[in-house]
């Protein structure tokens, strides 16, 4: 490995030369206490900034292994280092002068949620931090003096303040590890106590505004009703009381602007851990919980929605339903089935964003339009069976229809942001009001497993379901575990090129040519380059755009970037027609667990702009891909 002085001499020798001469600086350099690696150099000062990483060995960093000896503590440890490193480099941002992006210093910008990111990796060899640097220039002429300031003055200070175990850093990271352990303890207690969610007393649920994730000042702290109160003895915080939402069907009701949707939003984001000071750090929800809503215009591929929609006038088969332009009710029906397929144990629903005809049909409507003339079986008639037969709980905000009172196990009224348990009061009212409207719900069966997004044509749908189940079993047996064998299936043969593997047309991610965002597959008779783009609420793979606006638990663009790379992998290897949806997700998940999140990226240099989504969001993305 070259030394830091070799880098200094190289930069001095190319000063005032044309900008492409910066590329000669690519490589790793020993700075004594850490290694600096220039992984990718931008093409000119106005292009995307250069990619740089710093690695410190565990021996030199000096942080106790207890800070990252469990997956949840490791994620919190890495997350905190990203935040601290971001604060440090921000004070030097654009302090080095020049044209274009000269002097820029940037790293991932986390929100209040704690997520696994490629910006920081705590591995066997040490701690690596990946970030961007705008290499300085005047016009397109190298200004290496300013880059020397960045690499030899600014960055060493940042590294010293963040990546080495000073007493201040150790104290802060000990608190981070303690919080992570407490949060994980609550998640484990949810299962033991039969809860969907836990909301701690004193939690601040309201946000500053609809576009801010900061807690609202002077807002009403959460206080649990006595009948729903649960007290936990956390490993570090000790006794903590709060509201436990039991498994089953829970209804959240109340007047407008009293906090119904605020509570549901907190539950929705409780699938992620939050940083201290967010106000929701002890709001913990089953990490498989899925927010459902209507989504007009989304594509649906080969989904069995017959439990909700049957006997369409055009005789279309709803046991294998596809459409490029779904209605609100059809999209929500498909979302329920896809959520079950993804392994969700809880559905979160807000009446305001649901299709009315999918959620309920009142008694008068049923008298006017008889059952045999209505193809939709509303969700109210399936919610109980989804819990008893599939183990899926429902937490729903309702404000306009009292029909759900009849099937609810728990009813919470929000009054001026305070929750009250009105379950017994409502049951008495229901007994006086009339009969349960769901008593005559038609029977149904759960969809067959083994769904593919690209089914074969011209075959009876029920026969296809049987064939899919057989294929699933056969492929699982023939692929070892998740298709990672000798390059004939799954991920292909790994030749050591950064976890991407060399693709000979039989499997794998494709051979990378270093064209950031492109994948190259060989052996299919043509040169395939698959471009990916990431926007605020969507991604694009090739020419196909995936609209993710209504996947509400997708909270960071870096998660979207990771999904784009996953879809690219699927397209490059034609996984959609070869494997079931569940198998595809299992393959991707296994690959990431073995080789890390950077292994799915197509770039030749280490990925730094990816963030791990949940399995539920991977399913949601694949299901919305029209290609």
Write down the domain spans for the chain. Answer: 2-165, 290-433, 461-623
Residue 243 contacts residue 229 (beta carbons within 8 Å):
yes
Strand locations in 454-609 (E):
520-521, 528-529, 532-534, 538-541, 544-547
Residue 447 contacts residue 302 (beta carbons within 8 Å):
no
Alpha-carbon span 72 to 177, nearest angstrom = 9
Alpha-carbon span 624 to 627, nearest angstrom = 9
Q: Can you say whether the dihedral through the CA atoms of 309, 312, 318, 323 is positive or negative?
A: negative
CA distances from 203 to 221, 595, 608 (A): 6, 37, 33
**Taking the CB of residue 372, how many other CB atoms lie within 10 A of it?**
7
Residue 267 contacts residue 197 (beta carbons within 8 Å):
yes
Structure tokens at 41: 């150099």
Q: In this structure, what are the phi and psi dihedrals at residue 209, rounded to the nearest 5 degrees?
A: -165, 175
Q: Could you give the 3-state DSSP secondary structure of residue 242? A: strand
What's the pLDDT score for residue 370? 65
Alpha helices by DSSP H, 212-327: 260-269
What's the pLDDT score for residue 521? 39
Alpha-carbon span 310 to 113, nearest angstrom = 41
Q: Which of 595, 594, 589 is nearest to 618 (CA)?
A: 589
List the end-to-end C-alpha distance of the chain, in Å, as a whole number.
45
Residue with token string 């998940």 = 589
**Taking the CB of residue 6, how many other CB atoms lie within 10 A of it?**
14
Q: Which residues sit opposite 255 in a β-bridge?
A: none
Q: Any residues with CB less than 8 A from the CB of 291 and at least 6 apart, and which?
A: 268, 347, 348, 349, 552, 553
Residue 610 contacts residue 118 (beta carbons within 8 Å):
yes
Alpha-carbon span 466 to 604, nearest angstrom = 42
Q: Which of 132, 202, 19 is nearest to 605 (CA)?
A: 132
CA diameter of the chain: 89
Q: Could you give the 3-state DSSP secondary structure of residue 203? A: coil
* Strand (E) or helix (H) holding 79: helix 71-90
Q: Chunk the chain into consecutive blocks of 10 residues (it has 627) and report each block's average pLDDT, rounded to whole numbers.
A: 97 97 98 98 96 98 97 98 98 95 97 97 95 96 97 98 97 98 98 98 95 92 98 98 98 94 97 98 98 96 94 85 94 98 98 93 70 83 94 95 93 97 95 76 83 63 46 42 36 37 37 39 47 93 95 97 96 89 96 92 86 98 93
Structure tokens at 476: 């699982």
Q: Could you give the 3-state DSSP secondary structure of residue 359? A: helix
Alpha-carbon span 470 to 72, nearest angstrom = 37
Written as one string, the DSSP assignment of 88-109 is: HHHTTTTTS--STTTT-EE---
What's the pLDDT score for residue 455? 59
Alpha-carbon span 27 to 194, nearest angstrom = 53
Chain-centroid distance of CA 568 in Å reads: 17
Q: Which of 18, 25, 21 is nearest to 148 (CA)?
A: 25
What's the pLDDT score for residue 274? 98
Pairing of strands 27-30, 2-3: parallel
What's the pLDDT score for residue 474? 45
Q: Any residues with CB less than 8 A from the CB of 54 and at least 6 apart, and which?
A: 34, 35, 36, 37, 128, 129, 155, 159, 163
* Strand (E) or helix (H) holding 142: strand 141-142
HEC letters along 443-499: CCCCCCCCCCCCCCCCCCHHHHHHHHHHHHHHHHHHCCCCCECCCCCECCECCCCCC
The helices-and-strands tally (H runs, E runs) of the chain is: 17, 30
């Amino acid at each position: 490995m070259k030394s830091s002085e070799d880098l200094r001499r190289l930069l001095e020798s190319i000063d005032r030369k044309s900008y492409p001469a910066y590329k000669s600086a690519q490589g790793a350099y020993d700075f004594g206490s850490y290694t600096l690696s220039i992984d990718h150099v931008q093409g000119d000062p106005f292009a995307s900034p250069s990619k740089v990483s710093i690695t410190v060995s565990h021996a030199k960093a000096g942080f106790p292994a207890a800070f990252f000896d469990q997956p949840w503590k490791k994620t919190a440890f890495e997350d905190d280092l990203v935040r601290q490193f971001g604060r440090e480099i921000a004070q030097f941002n654009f302090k080095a002068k020049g044209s274009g992006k000269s002097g820029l210093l940037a790293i991932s910008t986390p929100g209040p949620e704690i997520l696994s990111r490629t910006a920081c990796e705590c591995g066997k060899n040490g701690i690596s931090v990946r970030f961007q640097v705008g290499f300085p220039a005047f016009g397109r002429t190298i200004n290496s003096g300013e880059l020397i300031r960045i690499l030899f003055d600014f960055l060493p200070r940042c590294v010293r303040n963040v990546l080495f175990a000073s007493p201040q850093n150790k104290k802060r990271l000990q608190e981070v590890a303690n919080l992570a352990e407490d949060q994980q303890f609550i998640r484990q207690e949810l299962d033991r106590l039969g809860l969907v969610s836990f909301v701690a007393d004193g939690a601040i649920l309201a946000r500053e505004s609809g576009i801010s994730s900061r807690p609202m000042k002077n807002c009403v702290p959460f206080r649990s009703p006595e009948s729903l109160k649960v007290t936990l003895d956390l490993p570090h915080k000790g006794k903590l009381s709060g509201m436990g939402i039991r498994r089953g069907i829970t209804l959240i009701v109340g007047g407008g602007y009293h906090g119904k949707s605020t509570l549901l939003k907190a539950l929705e984001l409780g699938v992620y851990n939050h940083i201290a000071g967010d106000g929701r750090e002890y709001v913990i929800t089953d990490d498989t919980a899925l927010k459902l809503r209507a989504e007009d215009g989304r594509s649906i591929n080969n989904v069995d929605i017959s439990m909700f929609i049957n006997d369409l006038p055009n005789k279309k088969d709803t046991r294998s339903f596809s459409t490029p332009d779904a209605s609100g009710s059809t999209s929500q029906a498909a979302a329920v089935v896809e959520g079950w397929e993804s392994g969700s144990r809880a559905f979160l629903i807000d009446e305001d964003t649901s299709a009315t005809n999918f959620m309920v049909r009142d008694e008068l409507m049923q008298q006017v339009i008889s059952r045999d003339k209505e193809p939709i079986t509303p969700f109210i008639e399936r919610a109980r069976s989804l819990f008893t037969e599939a183990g899926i709980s429902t937490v729903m905000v309702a404000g306009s229809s009292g029909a759900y009172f009849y099937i609810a196990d728990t009813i919470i009224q929000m009054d001026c942001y305070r929750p009250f348990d009105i379950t017994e009061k409502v049951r008495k009212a229901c007994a006086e009001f009339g009969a349960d409207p769901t008593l005559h719900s038609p029977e149904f069966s759960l969809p067959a497993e083994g769904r593919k997004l690209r089914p074969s044509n011209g075959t009876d749908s029920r026969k296809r379901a049987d064939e899919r189940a057989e294929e699933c079993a056969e492929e699982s047996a023939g692929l070892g575990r998740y298709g990672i064998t000798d390059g004939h299936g799954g991920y292909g043969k790994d030749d050591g090129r950064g976890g991407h593997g060399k693709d000979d047309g039989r499997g794998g991610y494709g051979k990378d040519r270093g064209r950031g965002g492109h994948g190259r597959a060989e052996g299919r008779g043509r040169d395939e380059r698959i471009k990916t783009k990431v926007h605020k609420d969507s991604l694009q793979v090739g020419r196909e755009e995936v609209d993710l606006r209504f996947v509400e638990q997708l909270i960071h663009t870096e998660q979207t970037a990771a999904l784009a790379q996953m879809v690219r992998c699927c397209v490059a290897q034609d996984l959609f027609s070869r494997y079931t949806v569940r198998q595809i997700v299992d393959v991707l998940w296994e690959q990431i667990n073995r080789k890390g999140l950077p292994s799915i990226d197509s770039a030749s240099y280490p990925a730094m702009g990816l963030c791990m989504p949940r399995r539920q969001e991977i399913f949601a993305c694949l299901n919305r891909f029209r290609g």
